[in-house]
Structure 1
Amino acid sequence: MTETPSPDGCRSGVELQIERVIVASLEQATVHVRCLRGPVRRGARFNRLSGSARALDLTLTQAVVYGHRVPALDAGLTAFVTLRGKGVQTLLSGTPASGGQVIQGTNLLP
């Protein structure tokens, strides 16, 4: 899959839909997600949350698909991810009506 570079040419946009928050602490959460726009690589930074004006500064530190750690998530995949940073308390599990929150951010290109 090809990534879409941002105007500065060094980042690409990514999106994850929050399906379920499994465990959350003050600075880290394990979350079941669906990748809407990717690939989302380990180290991706998320700074926007759908339907909220609250600031986020989250880093994806781990992704697990079918029990295996993976370096990236392609669009359409579901996974358990670990997010660390400011704003994990604002993440909520999705409902059939809401479809779940979407977090948006960027990958640094290799």
Structure 2
Amino acid sequence: MTEPLNPGSHAVEVELAIDQITIVSLAEATVTVRCMLGPVRCGARFDRIHDSAEAIDLELTKILAYHRSVDELDPVHTALVTLRGTGVQLLTSATPRSRWQSIRGTNPLP
């Protein structure tokens, strides 16, 4: 007999659109983002860039919304976030001629 899935036990997909990025080091960036799919929580892990084959492994370690540290960011809201891990150098800021780059991943399990 198969046990029913626990809705709270699976990873929830999330997406952030990048407006501006400041590279702090090879493994850390401070990024102005808009939440496109979420809410996105601290500890979320991002493993892909939309429309790119490049691999990333970034963890969201801090969210500042309206100059306050918060634990999650709801869709359509913007914030300053800190991302740490592999692939920081692949992230790009938006320009008047380019679309915002989007990164996708999953929230941590509760």
Structure 1, unaligned stretches of length 5 or more? Answer: 1-6
Contact 1:24 1:89 in 2 (8 A): no
How far residue 25 of structure 1 moved from its aligned partner, in angstroms, is: 1.4
Residue 63 (str. 1) matches residue 56 (str. 2): no
Partner of 2:97: 97
Normalising by the residue count of structure 1, what TM-score does the alignment of the two structures yield? 0.88
Partner of 2:3: none
1:24-103 pair list within 5 angstroms: 24-103=24-103
Residue 106 (str. 1) matches residue 106 (str. 2): yes
For this pair of structures, how many residues does the alignment match? 104
How far residue 70 of structure 1 moved from its aligned partner, in angstroms, is: 0.4
Decide which structure has the larger Cα Rg and report it. 2
How far residue 10 of structure 1 moved from its aligned partner, in angstroms, is: 1.4
Partner of 1:4: none
Aligned-partner Cα distance in 2 for 1:25–1:50: 23
Report the secondary structure of 2:93's partner residue. Answer: coil
Structure 2, unaligned stretches of length 5 or more? Answer: 1-6
Contact 2:23 2:88 in 1 (8 A): no
Aligned-partner Cα distance in 2 for 1:108–1:23: 24
Aligned-partner Cα distance in 2 for 1:12–1:68: 24
How far residue 51 of structure 1 moved from its aligned partner, in angstroms, is: 2.3
Aligned-partner Cα distance in 1 for 2:19–2:35: 10
Comparing 91-100 with 73-82, greater Cα deviation is found at 91-100
% identical equivalent positions: 53
Cα-Cα RMSD: 1.6
How far residue 45 of structure 1 moved from its aligned partner, in angstroms, is: 0.3
Report the secondary structure of 1:98's partner residue. Answer: coil
Normalising by the residue count of structure 2, what TM-score does the alignment of the two structures yield? 0.88
Partner of 2:19: 19
Instruction: Report the AA paired with residue 69 of structure 2.
Output: R
How far residue 35 of structure 1 moved from its aligned partner, in angstroms, is: 0.3
Report the secondary structure of 1:108's partner residue. Answer: coil
How far residue 52 of structure 1 moved from its aligned partner, in angstroms, is: 1.5
How far residue 13 of structure 1 moved from its aligned partner, in angstroms, is: 0.3
